[in-house]
Structure 1
């Protein structure tokens, strides 16, 4: 056989087709939701997936205030951060994060932890839009609702 009848499609920034997707987080378990959202943002479900290109979709996550955690994770799970100064280590439980800040932080941190730790991961993370209520300002993009 002299020629190949097939080729591996390798996408680049110009040939990628990006869509907008809405995910409803109401009643969903945080980790399972985050792993599916990370796959959609990364583009792993697309047939032309290329690991070194941002070929995923823009994802809008709504109703993050109604997300679930299983077991005793509301009180036993700990988020640790450091200010960079001596003695600057801070820790919070998900319950404290929900009361002090916003529930969007829980989803954002879960999804961010499942993305690559490099400049591509930082670029892909900008395609995530998280909102507490059921309203979002992206109606002009006509996002498709997907069920996770």
Structure 2
């Protein structure tokens, strides 16, 4: 079992690295999903996610989640062949949490070098928790 701390990691890069490792058969737990960042201007990102959210409904059409843990899982799902057996099995090996759950407090979490945002220190970015709050999530 691998524990990844999402604090300060870029969403797309984290999702692609996670998807690759899931397809290799690893069991992955991502903690601190609300601290994952999305690069870009705040206004543009919030408009983009609001458009995704209002595109469909839960009953009909594409449903897009509000909570940060579900958004991360949905992003990873988009990088897996989830309509095939291999992708469904890989996605079942993923757990995403807001904060740090009690059972994972003593585990050592890794932070992949490729997904860190040190290069974005002067650029604009938004944390996933802010996006979720904007969409109406309570976590």
Q: TM-score, normalised by structure 1?
A: 0.60
2:91 equivalent to 1:110 = no
Could you say what secondary structure the match of 2:8 adopts?
coil
Q: Deviations over 1:50-106 (max 9, x none)?
A: xxxxxx11000000011111212232232444556xxx44676x8xx2xxxx21011
Structure 1, unpaired ranges of 5+: 1-19, 44-55
2:127 equivalent to 1:146 = no
Query: Of residues 13, 34, 40 in structure 2, which corresponds to 1:32?
Result: 13
Aligned to 2:96: 130
Structure 1's 132 and 83: CA in aligned 2 closer, same or farther, altered over 3 A? Answer: closer
Could you say what secondary structure the match of 1:145 adopts?
coil
Q: TM-score, normalised by structure 2?
A: 0.64
Structure 1's 82 and 137: CA in aligned 2 closer, same or farther, altered over 3 A? Answer: same
Conserved 8 A contact 2:22-2:28: yes
Cα RMSD for the two superposed structures: 2.5
Aligned to 2:29: 60
Of the two, which has the highest radius of gyration? 1
Conserved 8 A contact 1:62-1:136: no
Structure 2, unpaired ranges of 5+: 113-139
How many Å separate the matches in 1 of 2:9 and 2:38? 8
